[in-house]
Amino acid sequence: MIVTMTLGDWLALLTHFLSLSLLSIGGAITTAPDMHRYLVDQRHWLSDAQFTSSIALAQAAPGPNVLFIALLGWNIGMNAGGNHWPYAALGVLLAMIGILVPSTTLTFAAARWGHQNRELRAVRAFKQGMAPIVIALLIATGWILASSQGSTIKSWPLWLLTAVTALLVWRTRIHMLWLLAAGGLLGWFGWI
Protein backbone atom coordinates (compact mmCIF):
# COMPACT_ATOMS: atom_id res chain seq x y z
CA MET A 1 0.00 0.00 0.00
CA ILE A 2 1.39 3.40 -1.03
CA VAL A 3 0.08 6.74 0.13
CA THR A 4 1.29 10.30 -0.30
CA MET A 5 1.50 12.48 2.77
CA THR A 6 2.23 16.20 2.82
CA LEU A 7 3.71 18.03 5.79
CA GLY A 8 0.18 19.06 6.69
CA ASP A 9 -0.88 15.40 6.70
CA TRP A 10 1.89 14.48 9.14
CA LEU A 11 0.75 17.33 11.34
CA ALA A 12 -2.83 16.11 11.08
CA LEU A 13 -1.65 12.66 12.17
CA LEU A 14 -0.04 14.15 15.28
CA THR A 15 -3.11 16.27 16.01
CA HIS A 16 -5.42 13.29 15.67
CA PHE A 17 -3.57 11.35 18.37
CA LEU A 18 -3.19 14.46 20.56
CA SER A 19 -6.94 14.99 20.47
CA LEU A 20 -7.72 11.38 21.37
CA SER A 21 -5.26 11.21 24.25
CA LEU A 22 -7.44 12.90 26.85
CA LEU A 23 -10.46 10.85 25.74
CA SER A 24 -8.72 7.52 26.27
CA ILE A 25 -10.22 6.68 29.65
CA GLY A 26 -9.69 2.98 30.26
CA GLY A 27 -6.72 2.83 27.90
CA ALA A 28 -5.87 3.85 24.36
CA ILE A 29 -7.77 0.84 23.04
CA THR A 30 -11.09 2.52 23.94
CA THR A 31 -10.41 5.12 21.22
CA ALA A 32 -9.53 2.49 18.59
CA PRO A 33 -12.93 2.78 16.85
CA ASP A 34 -12.33 6.47 16.27
CA MET A 35 -8.80 5.85 15.02
CA HIS A 36 -10.17 3.31 12.55
CA ARG A 37 -12.74 5.80 11.33
CA TYR A 38 -10.14 8.51 10.75
CA LEU A 39 -7.00 6.64 9.64
CA VAL A 40 -8.58 3.86 7.56
CA ASP A 41 -11.99 5.07 6.38
CA GLN A 42 -11.47 8.80 6.03
CA ARG A 43 -7.78 9.36 5.17
CA HIS A 44 -6.92 5.93 3.71
CA TRP A 45 -3.46 6.02 5.28
CA LEU A 46 -3.78 2.43 6.48
CA SER A 47 -5.41 -0.74 5.21
CA ASP A 48 -8.00 -2.56 7.28
CA ALA A 49 -5.68 -5.55 7.65
CA GLN A 50 -2.81 -3.35 8.85
CA PHE A 51 -5.06 -1.80 11.47
CA THR A 52 -6.32 -5.11 12.85
CA SER A 53 -2.97 -6.86 12.84
CA SER A 54 -1.38 -3.91 14.67
CA ILE A 55 -3.76 -4.44 17.58
CA ALA A 56 -3.37 -8.22 17.59
CA LEU A 57 0.42 -8.08 17.49
CA ALA A 58 0.70 -5.48 20.27
CA GLN A 59 -1.54 -7.60 22.48
CA ALA A 60 0.49 -10.72 21.90
CA ALA A 61 3.89 -9.05 22.28
CA PRO A 62 5.39 -8.21 25.67
CA GLY A 63 4.74 -4.73 27.02
CA PRO A 64 1.77 -2.40 27.35
CA ASN A 65 -0.96 -2.78 24.75
CA VAL A 66 -0.70 0.94 23.93
CA LEU A 67 2.17 -0.06 21.64
CA PHE A 68 -0.45 -0.82 18.99
CA ILE A 69 -0.37 2.96 18.46
CA ALA A 70 3.33 2.71 17.65
CA LEU A 71 2.55 -0.01 15.10
CA LEU A 72 -0.15 2.14 13.50
CA GLY A 73 2.40 4.95 13.18
CA TRP A 74 4.97 2.50 11.81
CA ASN A 75 2.62 1.18 9.15
CA ILE A 76 1.47 4.65 8.11
CA GLY A 77 5.11 5.75 7.82
CA MET A 78 5.95 2.66 5.77
CA ASN A 79 3.00 3.32 3.44
CA ALA A 80 3.93 6.98 3.04
CA GLY A 81 7.67 6.55 2.71
CA GLY A 82 7.77 3.71 0.20
CA ASN A 83 8.90 1.21 2.87
CA HIS A 84 11.83 3.35 4.05
CA TRP A 85 12.25 3.02 7.78
CA PRO A 86 13.05 6.69 8.63
CA TYR A 87 9.50 7.54 7.60
CA ALA A 88 8.21 4.66 9.70
CA ALA A 89 10.23 5.95 12.67
CA LEU A 90 8.71 9.39 12.19
CA GLY A 91 5.26 7.82 12.20
CA VAL A 92 6.03 5.97 15.45
CA LEU A 93 7.34 9.14 17.07
CA LEU A 94 4.37 11.33 16.12
CA ALA A 95 1.80 8.69 17.09
CA MET A 96 3.36 7.92 20.47
CA ILE A 97 3.96 11.58 21.38
CA GLY A 98 0.41 12.38 20.39
CA ILE A 99 -1.27 9.63 22.38
CA LEU A 100 0.95 9.86 25.47
CA VAL A 101 1.95 13.47 26.18
CA PRO A 102 -1.45 14.96 27.10
CA SER A 103 -2.63 12.00 29.19
CA THR A 104 0.65 11.45 31.05
CA THR A 105 0.96 15.18 31.84
CA LEU A 106 -2.53 15.17 33.31
CA THR A 107 -1.89 11.96 35.25
CA PHE A 108 1.39 13.29 36.61
CA ALA A 109 -0.24 16.46 37.95
CA ALA A 110 -3.44 14.84 39.22
CA ALA A 111 -1.74 11.87 40.90
CA ARG A 112 0.77 14.15 42.58
CA TRP A 113 -2.02 16.33 43.93
CA GLY A 114 -3.91 13.26 45.12
CA HIS A 115 -0.86 11.88 46.88
CA GLN A 116 -0.06 15.16 48.61
CA ASN A 117 -3.67 15.41 49.79
CA ARG A 118 -4.13 11.73 50.58
CA GLU A 119 -5.41 12.46 54.10
CA LEU A 120 -8.28 14.59 52.77
CA ARG A 121 -11.62 12.93 53.39
CA ALA A 122 -12.64 13.41 49.75
CA VAL A 123 -9.47 11.75 48.44
CA ARG A 124 -9.82 8.82 50.83
CA ALA A 125 -13.49 8.47 49.93
CA PHE A 126 -12.58 8.33 46.24
CA LYS A 127 -10.04 5.57 46.78
CA GLN A 128 -12.22 3.54 49.13
CA GLY A 129 -15.28 3.98 46.96
CA MET A 130 -13.52 3.05 43.73
CA ALA A 131 -11.85 -0.09 45.11
CA PRO A 132 -14.67 -2.59 44.45
CA ILE A 133 -15.34 -1.07 41.02
CA VAL A 134 -11.70 -1.29 40.01
CA ILE A 135 -11.51 -4.93 41.10
CA ALA A 136 -14.66 -5.78 39.16
CA LEU A 137 -13.26 -4.03 36.09
CA LEU A 138 -10.24 -6.34 36.15
CA ILE A 139 -12.37 -9.46 36.29
CA ALA A 140 -14.64 -8.02 33.59
CA THR A 141 -11.63 -7.33 31.36
CA GLY A 142 -10.61 -10.97 31.67
CA TRP A 143 -14.16 -11.98 30.80
CA ILE A 144 -14.31 -9.70 27.73
CA LEU A 145 -10.94 -10.94 26.47
CA ALA A 146 -12.10 -14.51 26.92
CA SER A 147 -15.38 -13.76 25.11
CA SER A 148 -13.52 -12.38 22.12
CA GLN A 149 -12.22 -15.90 21.47
CA GLY A 150 -15.79 -16.96 20.69
CA SER A 151 -18.74 -18.33 22.60
CA THR A 152 -19.58 -21.26 20.36
CA ILE A 153 -19.36 -24.81 21.66
CA LYS A 154 -16.14 -25.23 19.66
CA SER A 155 -14.25 -22.68 21.72
CA TRP A 156 -14.70 -24.50 25.05
CA PRO A 157 -11.01 -25.54 25.25
CA LEU A 158 -10.01 -21.85 25.18
CA TRP A 159 -12.47 -21.02 27.95
CA LEU A 160 -11.19 -23.96 29.95
CA LEU A 161 -7.61 -22.73 29.51
CA THR A 162 -8.65 -19.24 30.66
CA ALA A 163 -10.44 -20.63 33.72
CA VAL A 164 -7.58 -22.96 34.69
CA THR A 165 -5.10 -20.09 34.32
CA ALA A 166 -7.20 -17.80 36.51
CA LEU A 167 -7.51 -20.49 39.17
CA LEU A 168 -3.78 -21.37 39.15
CA VAL A 169 -2.62 -17.76 39.33
CA TRP A 170 -5.16 -16.90 42.01
CA ARG A 171 -4.46 -19.90 44.22
CA THR A 172 -0.84 -20.92 43.57
CA ARG A 173 2.51 -19.20 43.11
CA ILE A 174 3.17 -20.62 39.65
CA HIS A 175 5.05 -18.22 37.37
CA MET A 176 2.91 -16.57 34.73
CA LEU A 177 5.46 -17.08 31.96
CA TRP A 178 5.10 -20.88 32.24
CA LEU A 179 1.39 -20.54 31.68
CA LEU A 180 1.87 -18.26 28.68
CA ALA A 181 4.38 -20.68 27.21
CA ALA A 182 1.98 -23.57 27.78
CA GLY A 183 -0.85 -21.63 26.12
CA GLY A 184 1.38 -20.81 23.17
CA LEU A 185 2.43 -24.44 22.72
CA LEU A 186 -1.13 -25.77 23.01
CA GLY A 187 -2.16 -23.33 20.30
CA TRP A 188 0.87 -23.98 18.11
CA PHE A 189 0.08 -27.70 17.94
CA GLY A 190 -3.57 -26.95 17.29
CA TRP A 191 -4.86 -28.61 20.46
CA ILE A 192 -7.04 -25.66 21.35
Partner 1 sequence: MPASPRPQPQSVADLFWSFTRLALQGFGGVLAIVQHEMVEKKQWLTREEFIEDWAVAQILPGPNVVNLSLMIGDRYFGLRGALAALAGMLTFPLLIVLALAAIFAGISDSGGVAGALRGMGAVAAGLIAATGLKLAGALQKNVMGTLLCWLLAALTFIAIAVLRVPLVWVLLTIGGAACIWAYRQLGRYRVLGGDS
Residue 15's SS3 state is helix
Which residues, 30 to 89, sit near partner 1 by CB under 8 A? 30, 53-54, 56-67, 70-71, 74-75
Instruction: Report DSSP state, residue 172.
Output: S
- Nearest residue to 69 (alpha-carbon basis) of 42, 43, 46: 46
Q: Which of 106, 117, 151, 156 binds partner 1 (CB under 8 A)?
A: 106
Of 5 and 67, nearer to partner 1 (C-beta) is 67
Q: How far is residue 132 CA from its own chain's centroid?
A: 23
- The yes or no reply on residue 135 touching partner 1 (CB under 8 A) is yes
Cα–Cα distance measured from residue 19 to residue 17, given in angstroms and rounded to the nearest whole number: 5
Residue 45 CB, nearest approach to partner 1 (Å): 16
- The yes or no reply on residue 176 touching partner 1 (CB under 8 A) is yes
Q: Which of 37, 44, 84, 127 binds partner 1 (CB under 8 A)?
A: 127
Of 5 and 58, nearer to partner 1 (C-beta) is 58
- The yes or no reply on residue 18 touching partner 1 (CB under 8 A) is no
Of 8 and 62, nearer to partner 1 (C-beta) is 62
Question: Do the beta carbons of residue 54 and residue 75 sit within 8 Å?
Answer: yes
Residues in Cβ contact with 170 at an 8 Å cutoff, skipping those fewer than 6 apart: none
- The yes or no reply on residue 149 touching partner 1 (CB under 8 A) is yes
- Nearest residue to 14 (alpha-carbon basis) of 54, 72, 56: 72
